[in-house]
A = this chain, B = another copy of it.
Amino acid sequence: MQESEALTGWPSEGAGEERPAGSREKGLNRVLNMLEFLHANQRAIAIGELAKGLNAPRSTTYTLVRELVEAGLLEMAGDGNRVYFGKKLYLYGMAYMRGNDLLRRGRQEVDALSRETGETSELCMLQSGRYTIIHSSPGARPFRISSATGLQIPLPWTASGRLLLAGLDRSRIEAMVTEDDLVLPDGRKVDLDDFIDDIARARVTGYCVTSGLVDAYTKCLAAPVFSAPGKVEATMCLVVPIDTSEARTGELVALLRERAARLSIS
């Protein structure tokens, strides 16, 4: 029952979508919620627990789980009462990767960068309006800076977030950031104007460095990957100890930008 920080297992009522009331819910939506729930918890979940966690009626949950297991999207896990992702999802995921040059090459570049520098390296993208770690390669440090693949983090908390929004106008940016997103884990609040300034600056300099935003011990270096001139499709980034020297930081940024540039254009 490990709970990592703000990851309580379910999006804290946030993302403020419409919730018409206690009325009926479409089966497909229930399924999408189930998948998200499993992803958030990263472990097999008992069916009853699933129903409870999603505020879904038990009978419906049983039915849907059965259908998904039959389809192979879910699998009954070990002890025979819990479910988790199934092979089909793995196969679909691999198909996605095969069909996606950027992802395939990006993973290689990230792995290489992490090997080369010994630091934790990540490939990040926008995923339905949220910053998402698509692939990460842990560094060689004794106490590693962890960050789970697929983790979604508010854009203003990260260097990558500033780059991913480069090129969007103010209204677009505002639309992608909620009030909550501006509050850092330690309670400090990011000023929206500062954030937008950061984005503009990042756009010009072609990289971004943030210190002690998500936590007090790390620094985040990011460089953009372009899918077309001006269009930031992804970022590569390095997560390093906050006391990394200016000089080394500079070196790392150079390496990072080089690899990110190699990914660009497609």
- Enumerate A36-89 residues with CB–CB distance to B below 8 Å: 38-39, 42-44, 64, 67, 70-73, 84-89
Query: What is the total number of copies of this protein in its complex?
Result: 2
Could you tell me if A67 and B132 are in contact, using CB atoms closer than 8 angstroms? no
Binds B, one of A1-9, A92-100, A139-147, A214-222: A92-100
- In this complex, the member of A64, A95, A99, A127 whose beta carbon has the largest number of chain B beta carbons within 10 angstroms is A95
Chain B nearest Cβ from A192, distance in angstroms: 26
- Say how far A65's CB is from chain B's closest CB, in angstroms: 12
Q: Smallest distance from the beta carbon of A155 to chain B beta carbons, Å?
A: 16
- Chain B nearest CB from A144 CB (Å) reads 16
> How many of chain A's residues have a CB under 8 angstroms from any CB in B?
43
Contact across chains for A96 and B103 when beta carbons are under 8 A apart: no
Q: Which of A27-35, A157-165, A200-208, A257-265 contacts B (4 or more CB under 8 A)?
A: A27-35
For the complex, give the distance between the alpha carbons of A72 and B150 in Å: 12
Contact B132 A99 (CB under 8 A): no
Task: List B contacts of A85 (CB < 8 A).
Answer: 92-93, 95-96, 99
- Partner of A26 from the list B27, B29, B99, B127 (CB cut-off 8 Å) is B27
With A72-B128, A85-B96, A86-B96 known as contacts, the answer to whether A28 contacts B67 (CB < 8 A) is: yes
Chain B residue numbers with a CB within 8 Å of A134 are 87, 90-91
Q: Determine how close the nearest CB of chain B comes to the CB of A118; give it in whole angstroms.
A: 22
User: A125 in the interface, Cβ–Cβ < 8 Å?
Assistant: yes
Q: Does A244 contact B (CB under 8 A)?
A: no
Chain A 103-138 interface mask (CB, 8 Å, partner B; 1/0): 100000000000000000000010110001010000
CB of A19 to closest CB in B, whole Å: 16
A90 adjacent to B86 (CB under 8 Å): no
- Write the residues of chain A forming the contact surface with B, with a CB cutoff of 8 angstroms: 26-29, 31-32, 35, 38-39, 42-44, 64, 67, 70-73, 84-100, 103, 125, 127-128, 132, 134, 149-150
Q: Given A72-B128, A85-B93, A95-B150, 17 more contacts at CB 8 Å?
A: A26-B27, A28-B64, A35-B88, A35-B92, A38-B95, A39-B92, A70-B128, A71-B128, A84-B99, A87-B132, A87-B134, A88-B127, A89-B93, A90-B100, A90-B134, A91-B150, A92-B93
